[in-house]
Homo-oligomer: A and B are copies of this chain.
Amino acid sequence: MSEMDFNELEGVTRPKTQRGEVTFQKLLEAAEAVFGEKGYYETSIVDIIQRAGVAQGTFYLYFKTKKDIFRQLVVHLHHEVRKTIQEAVQGVANRLAAETTGLRAYHNFLLEHRNLYRLVRELEFVDEDLFKWYYQSFANNYARRLSQAMEKGDIRKMDPEALAYSLIGLNVFIGMRWPLWENRPAPTIAVETIVDFITRGLGTETK
């Protein structure tokens, strides 16, 4: 499944006028807020339209179903996360250094987009295929970068996919533990431990 497959979701009607565009954005933002706070299933369309300040019928001018708006949000998020991390990593020559830089960027992103983080996690129970696509696409990209680093000799040669999922899982749970649960960056000692753990785990030093 290509990374772009979900960009055009089932014939969504994009707004054609200026006014429509505004309404569309209002709805998306309202959805982000309320899905993030209450979760997909606990959120009703009324919650969204009230927050957006539009009438119920208006919702269906822009989105086919409740699931539709959720999917669009997730795809939007996905692009943002990737862009953020790639921008942070860009120009960092050494892969190991990039790893830790990306980790910090990711956690900062989380702190600013706590709602979106929740969306992705809940995606597993809303649209499992999209959920898989999300992480596969993420992991594939990650694995590719790891492979390149192996080629360059920055890190040991190992199974890049297994590493990618391991590192994603690690980050997700660290992101959950501090940014999400405590609404603050992971403490220094934790970051040092993780960086050290990853550095050694990936490094080329002989035993």
Contact = CB atoms under 8 A, between A and B. Distances in A.
Contacts of A166: 170, 173-174, 194, 197
Contacts of A82: none
A161 B190 contact: yes
Contact of A124 (B121, B168, B192): B121
Among A42, A161, A197, chain B packs the most CB atoms within 10 A around the CB of: A197
Interface residues of A, number: 46
A4 interface: no
A201 interface: yes
Interface string A31-68: 00000000111100000000000000000000000000
A159 B190 contact: yes
Q: Is the interface of A mostly helix, strand, loop or mixed?
A: helix
Given A41-B125, A159-B192, A159-B193, A177 B200 contact: no
A186 interface: yes
A181 B132 contact: yes
Interface string A152-179: 0000101101110111111111101100
Contacts of A39: 125
Contacts of A201: 197-198, 200-201
